[in-house]
Amino acid sequence: MKKEKTTFGAGCFWGVEEAFRTLKGVISTSVGYMGGRMKNPTYKDVCTDKTGHAEVVQIEYNPSKISYDKLLDIFWSIHNPTTLNRQGLDFGTQYKSVIFYHNEKQKKKALQSKERLENSGKYKKPIVTEITKASEFYRAEDYHQKYLMKRNFGTCH
């Protein structure tokens, strides 16, 4: 089976993970931190707003069962990409809207999808989503993994 990986930040990683976890073609999800300056950050570190990391979900998927384009569509639909470092009541750099691409094909598709959304007129404000090369992924503490599922909480997005 062919596997690919993508990483998205769209606010609190609990809800982002839940939006992707059960999709047909998604093999696994893991929440964690990416894009910052500190090695091996903890949740407490990231919440200081000083590490530069975003809360993210890393997704392994089978591209013959779910396309990267479909994953991008879901990413755009589960958050407000016009709010800088904020989703709902959560604010701070760790909640930024970001697509971390793992190869040039993903980069191209992510940029195209952002442009399509900008041109659609759906939002009056500019889209602030960053599209950047994936860096070291630091898996979050175990209690954050599948947080909403373990608590039968549904979603927070």
What's the pLDDT tens digit per position in 3-58? 999 999 999 999 999 999 999 999 999 999 999 999 999 999 999 999 999 999 99
Question: Is 156 an active-site residue?
Answer: no
pLDDT recorded at residue 148? 82
Output 139-145 pairs: Cβ under 8 A, ≥24 positions apart: 139/30, 139/31, 139/32, 140/13, 140/30, 140/31, 140/32, 140/33, 140/43, 140/55, 141/42, 141/43, 144/13, 144/14, 144/31, 144/43, 145/17, 145/30, 145/31
Q: Could you give the domains of the chain?
A: 4-150 (3.30.1060.10)
pLDDT recorded at residue 13? 94
pTM metric for this prediction: 0.94
What does the mean pLDDT of the chain come to?
94
Residues 12, 34, 71, 72: which is the catalytic one? 12
